[in-house]
A and B are shown apart, each in its own frame.
Chain A
Amino acid sequence: MSSTLEVKDLQTHFFTRAGVVKAVDGVSFSLQRGKVLGLVGESGSGKSVSGFSIMGLVDEPGRIVGGSIRFQGRELVGLPEPEMRALRGNRIAMIFQDPMMTLNPVLRIDVQMIETVLAHEKVSHTEARARARDALGMVGIPSPDERLKSYPHQFSGGMRQRVAIAIALLHRPDLIVADEPTTALDVTIQGQILAQVQKLATELGTALIWITHDLSVVAGLADDIAVMYAGRVVESGSVDAVLDAPLHPYTHGLIGSVPSRNRRGAPLQQIPGMTPSVINLPPGCAFRARCPRADGACLETPAMAELLPGRTARCFHPHLESVPA
């Protein structure tokens, strides 16, 4: 079976006055139909920029300078804007982080939904409206007919995110890029939205890229995981395998710093230091300054290598010893 999405060695750089910001510098992953990939990393690790790169929405002074993004076998890097626009919102949709900011405050919900339908399909206004209403119903918004006539400010944050999800689902896309869609929401609402999205993605066969910094969200939702650090994917594999026995010291540290019931009373482990600035990043492993295992070998940039079947990591000293045989 061919992949819905295949990203290979993606490089998106921002050409600023202070220097070249290599926000994404070698990101590879692939995603099968109906699967969920968790793209995990700290702030500034390049996970959002990866998402926008897939959407073809990287703003100046940013540019995709290398690599390839193949969507259903079709190369997206370098695709002319009109063709990219025909895909956006249609076959590839996106959900943003802050639901308070993503809907236009001065336009009614129906206007914002119907225009999305009409942007990609030649249907009557009435039919577009019916589609919008169905989509609102699908994401669990009560009395969708009335709610269509509302303005965004008449919705709560969670409801607005549902509307954004409904908009993303209007054309039953093959891929949804979700950029931390639950970060700005209450924990209770988070759970509801997660369950809803998972259910809908499974029902519609939509592949999902879930960008987050929250490992617990990924653990419950994703099939695969890709951990990003300083613009690169440092480890990827199936969620269960990676979370049970992380290979890369960074992943190891990340998981160690999540509070857990098994280690009650023990001090929480931390990763020392801070994420490096991606402006003029020196060569070599970007994590070496914070890594307990770093040595002279780490002055060179490690390549992404398949260390175990289905599991890759970018490290000279992976935690292979902790992997159960």
Chain B
Amino acid sequence: MIRSLPYSKTYGLSFKLYIILYFTFLFAPLLVTCVLAFNDSQFPSLPWKGFTFEWFTGNLPERVGIFHDQINLDSIWVSVRVAFFVTLLSVSVGTCGAFLFEQEDFRFKPVLYFLMLAPLVIPGVILGISILMFSTVLGIHFEETWKLDVGLFRPGFWLVVLGQFSFIATLVTLVVSARLRKFDRTLEEAALNLGANRFEVIWYITLKFLRPAILGSAAVAYLMSFENFNTTLFLVGSEATLPINLYLQVRDGSTPVINAISFLLIVGTSLAALANLYFSRKETQ
């Protein structure tokens, strides 16, 4: 039963046990990954051979730590850049979308709204292949008609950005819309009445109000982009993003460097998540 009702001891205990099991299930793989990042062994497995930082800082021929592992470092840098542009694009377009669907009226609005939701139901793999095919068709068309070789149409950095943006923008639109729906539109009228034009109203009043939602969705967009695999898999060119790069390594046998990277990712994203939570709590208070 619920906390305000009396319940039997067995009920309480078994429920508690279940929750403990659930959390073990949740954290076991992450914990093991982190711990093995510090094992002084050539393989990410037990037995424990002693504590070492070498998988982070080492620079020996047989043991290259992550800080000296150029390929992995490069892929992190690619991911950082991709995520930056994806966030920028999806937050700006998603915010436009929120304004469009919440505040404007036009014909075919339900159709467009449905289209906006579509990326939620399209598997990421399909998004990836359809964008890949379409860009290739466009590329061939440009080349045959105008003898133009447009780099954007080949798998690579910008195609990855576009592919990830295509569904992350939906997420931003939904998050910002939810907040915009709570906005009291008389505030806009009040600002108009005090002499602000439409642009100033949006800038000083509406966007200020939306700020927590925009910042929150930007953080989520960044993380989603940083971790995306399914869509990216088909669009990636010579510059592999971190998940793609890690996938190739994991598939072909792994070293504790992957644990070290995972450790950094776990710590980094946890801190980011905590910070995001902290600030969003603070904003809403």
A binds B: no
